[in-house]
Amino acid sequence: MQPADPCLLVIFGASGDLTSRKLIPSLYQMHCAGLLSGATQVLGVSRRPKSSEDWRGELKSVAQKHCPTFDDSKWAELAARIHYFAADAVKQADWEGLKREMGRLDESGKCRGNLLLFLSVGPELYEPIVEQIELAGLATEGKRWCSLNPADRSWQRIVVEKPFGHDEVSAASLNRALGRVFEEESIYRIDHYLGKEVVQSLLVLRFANSIFEPVWNHRYIDHVQITASESIGVEDRIGFYERTGALRDMIQSHMLQIMAFVAMEPPTNFSADHIRSEKIKAIDAVPVVSAASVPLCCALGQYSSGSGGAGYAELPGVAPQSMTETFAAIRLTVDNWRWARTPFYLRTGKRMAQKRTEVVVQFKPPAADLFRGVCPDDARLEGNRLVIEIAPLERTTLRFASKAPGAMRVAPVEMGVDYAKEFATATVEAYGPLLVDAMRGDQSLFKHRLEVEGAWKAVMPFLNEDSLEVRRAMHSNYEPGSWGPASSTELMARDGRAWHNPPKSSP
């Protein structure tokens, strides 16, 4: 990876949890790896009064906790370029002083006018802050291309955190607000899941290995499962979760992005425009589920009380008879020639049996069972299964049939690769490579507005009034430490399939 361009990185919401736990440790890791320009400056903006020195001290203690190989000298190099400015980014009166500070840091740091604005704030503040950015004249259309000397060209980009809208209408509204100020090529809708190594390696697995692409279609693949389960509850995010729920928090964003990587056609080349173009086509090919089919294609749930504590409905701040789901499983299809009638099952939930994020590609069994009647148990041959684990471990396994020793018997065996053991590299916080990509102008792992709006369109039937029948029946309907409500098992059983649920002893 080439080093990032020099720039002034302005983080709005600098006092928030995301900044201290993710963004700054990520920048520290990228600095240690030599991927940050030595001229890059970081400016945190938040309403809380504090000095730059105080903020650096707070950040250092968090970085030490999240970076096992913390080096004081390396931190000192980065900390010298970290600054803080107290301001309310939605108040126009505060921008005069903020602009002066930004200009000072740009000039002293020799950032060449390059500006990366990161909205690490609540989604209700996105549009008001973008409006103030426009009024402040920070985004100058065409400025990047006006100068004949490439060294004099500068850019202004904005990074927007999820949730990107609350529904299809609000997402389109936010896209319009951003589009009034920034060109699409300057808008970076970030999804930290796409910064995970194994998610990115899906492209390499599919398109760098000739054994997979010929069978990567409905003729050979029976179905695909994508699971993102967590063993913890909503913890201190009750207010956020009550407004959001599992579908908005995980499926509309992270999981549909992973699904797009699985379902997309081969891009012409490995560039942002071509990769995103194929992802847009894949999401656009997901047909909207009819109102009558929603109960058959959806399972929702709330975790009940158990040994781990109170159930979701009993938590302070949760509305009486809340219909916010802490578990969601949906069935989607991709209506094109490659995937015709092949189901994609997406599942996510809190207080589940394990913390686990994985993609399971279940292949069809052989068309003719040569060994039927020969094997003692007379069992039907199982199809091959490719499991791509994304978290907490990063590994890929392929199940295939083999002869067991002794009497004629076919048994499944697995071969696999553990990325940590194979490549002997430390885990990198996913935000780090994404921030560097934004500084380099590489949008390969960022969402296009059409992807966002298409994903909302696909999940809206499971969020609007069409889902009321399912929501009324989900109150405290699964136990903590389980794999979700019975309706989730029934969702798969109706199609003659079952979830891939690893044993509890499995990491």
Residues with active-site annotation: 254
Give the span between the Cα atoms of 110 and 465, in whole angstroms. Answer: 54
Cα 356 to chain centroid distance, Å, stands at 14
**DSSP states of 24-90:** HHHHHHHHHTT-S-TT-EEEEEESS---HHHHHHHHHHHHHHH-TT--HHHHHHHHTTEEEEE--TT
Give the span between the Cα atoms of 133 and 149, in whole angstroms. Answer: 27
Report helix, strand or coil for 10: strand
Residue from 452, 480, 484 nearest 329 by CA? 484
- Cα separations (Å) of 303 from 173, 193, 226, 230, 372? 33, 24, 20, 12, 43
Q: Contacts from 50-55 at CB under 8 Å and sequence distance 24+? A: 50/84, 50/86, 51/84, 52/82, 52/83, 52/84, 54/84, 55/14, 55/82, 55/84
Place of tokens 């996913």: 430
Angle, helices 449-459/256-263, rounded to nearest 10 degrees: 110
Give the span between the Cα atoms of 50 and 369, in whole angstroms. Answer: 71
* 106 contact partners, CB below 8 Å, separation of at least 6: 8, 41, 112, 113, 115
Give the span between the Cα atoms of 333 and 223, in whole angstroms. Answer: 10
Backbone angles phi, psi at 86, to 5 degrees: -85, 120
